[in-house]
Structure formats: C-alpha cells, structure tokens
Amino acid sequence: MAIEVDGQSYETDEEGYLADLNQWRPELATAMADADGAPLTEDHWEVVNFLREYYEEYQIAPAVRVLTKAIGKKLGKEKGNSKYLYELFPYGPAKQACKYAGLPKPTGCV
C-alpha cells in the first residue's frame, strides 16, 4: 500500500502505517487524518508531536496506558485520561495517533 501526498508516494503497510519513519512529514499526518474524515486540530497535534518525541528518545511507541500517564504529566491532568484521548482518536489513541506520527504500531498493543 502507499499514500500520495503532493504528488509523492509513500509506502505503508496494510494497516496504513508508514514503512519508513524517516520519510515522515507533517503533511502526511494531515493527509492521513483527512482521509479518515477527521482533520487534525491543535489538540491532535499535541499528541502526535508528543509521540514523535517519545519515539525519538526511547525508540518505541508507548502503550496506551503509558501514553495516557505521560500526557497527563506533560500536558496536565485534564488531558491525561482515556476519555480525552479517545475523543481525539476514536480508533484508539496509541494506534491512530502513532499512525499519523509515522511510527510503528505500539509495542504492547493488546
């Protein structure tokens, strides 16, 4: 599979995760979200950017429980809960946001 952005093609796996995370650009996240029918807002970007930073540091995409806790610590308690994150990413905050962030599917995704 592949995703087209600005005339360029990016390879993805069968679930739409980017094959090479080094190819990621913000426009890709925008295109993926638009294709899912839910354009990204500032609140979405906060989470997507957080995931990219987490991956940069630890070389993994965090499990949803870890993501929730870490978001709470960084962005405040009102955002560090499943309700808030599931409202932003109804397909599952770790899975969907990781996809937009160009990361592999989170380890420990059960």
> Under the rule (CB under 8 A), what is the footprint of another protein?
57-60, 62-63, 65-66, 69-70, 73, 107-108, 110
Q: What is the DSSP string of 67-90?
A: HHHHHHHHH-TTTSSHHHHHHH-T
Smallest gap from residue 34 Cβ to another protein (A): 31
- Annotated active-site residue 109? The verdict is yes
Give 62 or 102: the residue with its C-beta nearer to another protein.
Answer: 62
At 79, give phi and psi (nearest 5°).
-105, -15
CA proximity to 45, closest of 9, 102, 97, 92: 97
Rounded to a whole number of angstroms, the minimum distance from the CB of residue 62 to another protein is 7
At CA 88, angle to CA 97 and CA 104, rounded to 5? 10
**CB 109 → another protein: shortest distance, Å?**
8
Of 1, 19, 35, 109, the active-site residue reads 109
How far, in Å, CA of 24 to CA of 26, rounded?
7
Annotated catalytic residues are 109
